[in-house]
């Protein structure tokens, strides 16, 4: 067993995940895939490569996939829990850099919006949508984190235990913002490491109107509660 585990949520990522799994082989990490019964056979594809897969019955959402994955990771003796997307947007080269920073902060966020961070092949619309979500969250919640929506992270296991992840409610990418808030409220040290985020080439994005709406509603309600001191 390695001291770090990479938790990867998947839904229909058979075309993308092979490259990621191949690159991860070179690193001292264990890998756990949380698959939501992908009709394209992602789970069997990963298992055939010797990867541990936790299979669920249907598409239950990104947030619930991470809650399940983190609970499994914490039930073992890992020191660090890494999260990455399967769609090729998160680069293993950047993970190597992030792992070099382990020990400097309890939460390391792979960030597109710090100096030297970058995005590739995103339309201006997607860029503004993502920058807008981060700006909105920072304005209402004063997070002080440039890329609070990033799903590329390394948590110290001790921090994750304190964060009581089972009570995190968000289902879409808002999960990352809620986790950032929770980390801050637990007094965590947080570092942002520049990454290059590359738009997926294969497969389809799971971003949807309802996922974006969830983020707007949750951020707004947290902001209002904050305003009235709750
Ligand atoms: N298990 C599980 N994984 C999911 C679910 N929704 C998305 N994922 C995975 O979460 C990761 C991120 O999903 P993406 O489709 O890239 O969504 P996104 O990164 O928010 O959107 P883009 O920025 O358009 O790529 C991928 O590995 C997906 O396969 C889900 O409901 N269940
Ligand atoms: Mg993606």
Pocket test for ligand 1, best of 53, 62, 197 (most atoms within 8 A of CB): 62
User: What is the token pair recorded at 217?
Assistant: 């509603």
Look up the pTM and report it: 0.96
Taking the C-alpha atoms of residue 122 and residue 114, their distance in angstroms, rounded to an integer, is 17
Pocket test for ligand 1, best of 8, 11, 34, 51 (most atoms within 8 A of CB): 11
Interhelix angle 174-185/124-141, nearest 10 degrees: 30
pLDDT tier, 207 (very low <50, low <70, confident <90, very high otherwise): confident
pLDDT tier, 203 (very low <50, low <70, confident <90, very high otherwise): confident
C-alpha of residue 227 to centroid of ligand 1, in Å: 32
Give mean pLDDT, residues 121-148: 94
C-alpha of residue 68 to centroid of ligand 2, in Å: 19
Among residues 142, 173, 150, 154, which one has the least CA distance to residue 107? 154
The minimum-distance atom of ligand 1 relative to the CA of 173 is 20
Residue 206 pLDDT: 85
User: What is the token pair recorded at 210?
Assistant: 């309802």
Interhelix angle 62-74/174-185, nearest 10 degrees: 40
**Per residue in 32-61, pLDDT tens?**
999 999 999 999 999 999 999 999 999 999
Q: Which domain holds residue 202?
A: 4-227
pLDDT tier, 128 (very low <50, low <70, confident <90, very high otherwise): very high
Give mean pLDDT, residues 121-144: 93
Q: What is the CATH number of the domain that holds 191?
A: 3.90.550.10
Give mean pLDDT, residues 180-196: 98
Tell me what the pLDDT averaged over the chain comes to: 96
230: pLDDT strictly greater than 80: no
Give mean pLDDT, residues 137-155: 96
Q: What is the CA angle 199-200-204, rounded to 5?
A: 125
229: pLDDT strictly greater than 90: no
**Per residue in 54-85, pLDDT tens?**
999 999 999 999 999 999 999 999 999 999 99
Starting from the CA of residue 176, give the closest ligand: 1
**Per residue in 149-176, pLDDT tens?**
999 999 999 999 999 999 999 999 999 9
pLDDT tier, 208 (very low <50, low <70, confident <90, very high otherwise): confident
**Per residue in 94-113, pLDDT tens?**
999 999 999 999 999 999 99
Give mean pLDDT, residues 208-230: 91
Residue 201 pLDDT: 87
- Longest distance between any two alpha carbons in the chain, whole Å: 53
How many domains does the chain divide into?
A: 1
Pairing mode, if any, of strands 80-83 and 4-10?
parallel
Which protein residues are within 6 Å of ligand 1, measured from CB?
9-11, 13, 34-36, 59-62, 65, 85-87, 89, 173, 200, 205-207
Residue 146 pLDDT: 96
133: pLDDT strictly greater than 80: yes
Starting from the CA of residue 89, give the closest ligand: 2
């Amino acid at each position: 067993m390695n001291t770090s585990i990479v938790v990867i949520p998947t839904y229909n990522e058979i075309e993308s995940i092979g490259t990621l799994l191949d690159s991860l082989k070179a690193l001292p990490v264990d890998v756990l895939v949380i698959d939501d019964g992908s009709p394209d056979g992602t789970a069997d594809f990963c298992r055939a490569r010797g990867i541990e897969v936790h299979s669920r019955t249907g598409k239950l959402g990104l947030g619930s996939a991470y809650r399940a994955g983190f609970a499994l990771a914490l039930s073992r003796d890992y020191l660090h829990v890494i999260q990455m997307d399967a769609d090729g947007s998160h680069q293993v080269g950047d993970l190597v850099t992030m792992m070099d920073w382990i020990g400097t902060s309890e939460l390391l966020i792979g960030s597109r919006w710090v100096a030297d961070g970058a995005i590739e092949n995103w339309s201006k619309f997607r860029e503004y949508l993502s920058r807008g979500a981060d700006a909105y969250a920072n304005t209402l919640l004063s997070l002080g984190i440039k890329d609070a929506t990033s799903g590329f992270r390394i948590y110290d296991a001790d921090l994750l235990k304190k964060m009581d992840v089972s009570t995190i409610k968000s289902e879409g990418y808002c999960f990352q913002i809620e986790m950032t808030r929770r980390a801050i409220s637990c007094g965590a040290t947080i570092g942002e490491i520049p990454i290059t985020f590359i738009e997926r080439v294969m497969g389809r994005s799971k971003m949807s109107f309802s996922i974006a709406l969830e983020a707007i509603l949750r951020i707004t309600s947290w902001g209002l509660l904050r305003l009235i001191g709750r």
